[in-house]
A = this chain, B = another copy of it.
Amino acid sequence: MTRRHVTRFRVEFGDCDPAQIVFFPNFFRWMDAASLQFFVACGMPPWRELAQSDGIIGTPIVDVSAKFLRPATYGDAIDIETSIIEWRDTSFVMRHIICRAAEILVEGQEVRIFARRRPDDPMRIQAVRLPDHLRKLIE
């Protein structure tokens, strides 16, 4: 049974563009926040603690796609339902369904890795397998 987590956002005036609708990169900003809220809801410690304990500095995106079905505008409350739909060797696939009440607005999919800094070059990152004690929190 896949774990799901719903995060609510309020669309603000400043999130919208001159066409009066959400400027689309903001949907990715919200998906990113929903992704983190998913891990928080699972009991995962904040990245700054994981950086100390396990060297994991976050879950950078390697691939993302989204379908924009309906626009949203300021004043709208939107809900993002987030789940992990696939585990790969050193990456995983997250799905985000963004709704306003019963209407689906956006369907998004992210491939993310758990990343640490490369020992030989701290400005570069590399994918690591999620340690078992953290993986257990999610499943």
Residues of A within 8 A of B (CB): 10, 12-14, 16-21, 23-26, 28-29, 32-33, 36, 40, 46-48, 57-58, 60-68, 71, 73-75, 115, 123-125
Contact = CB atoms under 8 A, between A and B. Distances in A.
B62 A33 contact: no
Given A18-B74, A62-B68, A73-B123, A12 B32 contact: yes
Contacts of A17: 13-14, 16-18, 58
The CB with the most chain B CB atoms within 10 A, among A26, A64, A125, is that of: A64
Instruction: Give how many copies assemble into the complex.
Output: 4
Contacts of A67: 62-63
A68 B125 CA distance: 13
Contacts of A33: 10, 12-14
